[in-house]
Structure 1
């Protein structure tokens, strides 16, 4: 079943707009914001917003700096979980760049970092099995009123009664945004011209400044021509 990502973006945005926290995200949000400089170093190389990297890090490995962003395996060993066969790497940052650039869903190629687009990329990072079932992904919505139960307890096995105890990405981003204004910054542009109430009023026509195309403008042109001829003689 092919998922309509445009429709999923709209669904995720609508859920974001009405979501309310049912868990305490504050302490984890503060911890993730504290790691901002390390996430920014990866962001520069991969082109993925730092706060997206932060919430993936939390979901995949509870922000362990010894674990890969790709699947939580130790980054200084060859990974055994999907994506398997990655590494070893020289640093957490190198492993993170590899995860974002070279591993599905290839977050470094994603271009839509709006709220709906970001949440949809994050959902793809975990897999679209929930979207195929038409239910909210706990990877995104756990800890909010948009999620109650339902979880893939292992690959391909969905338990409708299981509850994801990890905090979801949406609630984490909401809590982080309250601490750091660079998260989902405003894209509103400054008007290129002032509004009518602030614009400089046009100068009314006068003898010194006749309206263009008027008889006064014609007479003024003739006078200027005469004066210019006189100066040249």
Structure 2
């Protein structure tokens, strides 16, 4: 079982030493820049997903900058071995950039927390972290248990959108659990062993597509509502609009919010 330590109000002079001290096997460090110039460091032990025991809403205060900041533009690559360190760097640098987005993220996290027991009942036996499923559910349908996890279509029929005709087995109306299990099996998530933060980010991006990488734009599916994403998105299949801005929160941003908010159910 993982646990977490949150260290606040670290001065710029102290930050490097804190990060060096945290470089140990099984420890993942995330840095949240505070508006006063200091930093909050979240240490997750056992290289697992977040499980802190105290609230950290201060760390979710919006940052002043909406630029990419200290991280390099995304690599034009698709292999996890090439991208693992980039995911870690982006996750560490990720902060929410406006009060409105903070409110939206908090609402989504609240919804996931309320239904944590239901997510755990499904995901636990499949060897999947409940929050991985919850974040997909939030993005696809706003955590509506009357819809397919695959794409947000209603459970009263098989899916109409891609992937079409799911689940193949059984007859509608489907239970959310039966459909969700089908979606997770279809994507190859069941039975996986690595659920590190980097691997979860990779699974989400590969599931949504790597189409932003040749343009060196952080995928809004991961980073929308954060300082890492400014604009540019696909408005239709194979149709990219460089001026369009995603209005949906990114999966990586939700995961970061779960980390710093220290949800009790983790």
The answer for the alignment partner of 2:179 in structure 1 is 95
Q: Distance in 1 between matches of 2:234 and 2:125?
A: 32
Residue 58 of structure 1: how far off its partner (Å):
0.8
The answer for the alignment partner of 1:52 in structure 2 is 132
* Aligned residues: CA RMSD: 1.9
Q: Distance in 1 between matches of 2:238 and 2:106?
A: 32
Q: Distance in 2 between matches of 1:109 and 1:152?
A: 32
Which 10-residue stretch deviates more, 139-148 or 163-172? Answer: 163-172
Which whole-Å deviations, capped at 9, do the CAs of 1:191-219 have from their partners, x for residues lacking one? Answer: xxxxxxxxxxxxxxxxxxxxxxxxxxxxx
Q: Distance in 1 between matches of 2:162 and 2:114?
A: 28
Verify the 8 A CA contact 1:46 1:101 in the aligned structure 2. Answer: no
**1:66–1:2: structure 2 CA closer, same or farther, 3 Å change rule?**
same
Q: Which runs of 5+ in 2 are unaligned?
A: 1-75
The answer for the alignment partner of 2:216 in structure 1 is 134
Residue 99 of structure 1: how far off its partner (Å):
0.2
The answer for the alignment partner of 1:180 in structure 2 is 263
Residue 145 of structure 1: how far off its partner (Å):
0.3
Q: Is 2:144 aligned against 1:64? A: yes
Verify the 8 A CA contact 1:39 1:53 in the aligned structure 2. Answer: yes
Verify the 8 A CA contact 2:233 2:240 in the aligned structure 1. Answer: yes
Query: TM-score, normalized by length of structure 1?
Result: 0.72
Q: Which runs of 5+ in 1 are unaligned?
A: 184-233
Which whole-Å deviations, capped at 9, do the CAs of 1:141-193 have from their partners, x for residues lacking one? Answer: 0110010111111112111111111111122112223132665xxxxxxxxxx
Q: Distance in 2 between matches of 1:129 and 1:110?
A: 25
Equivalent residue in structure 2 for 1:8, among 64, 78, 83:
83
The answer for the alignment partner of 1:122 in structure 2 is 204
Q: Distance in 2 between matches of 1:146 and 1:27?
A: 21
Verify the 8 A CA contact 1:150 1:164 in the aligned structure 2. Answer: yes
Q: Distance in 2 between matches of 1:76 and 1:28?
A: 24
The answer for the alignment partner of 1:162 in structure 2 is 244
**1:110–1:9: structure 2 CA closer, same or farther, 3 Å change rule?**
farther
Equivalent residue in structure 1 for 2:165, among 85, 92, 95:
85
More helix by share: 1
- How many residues were matched structurally? 181
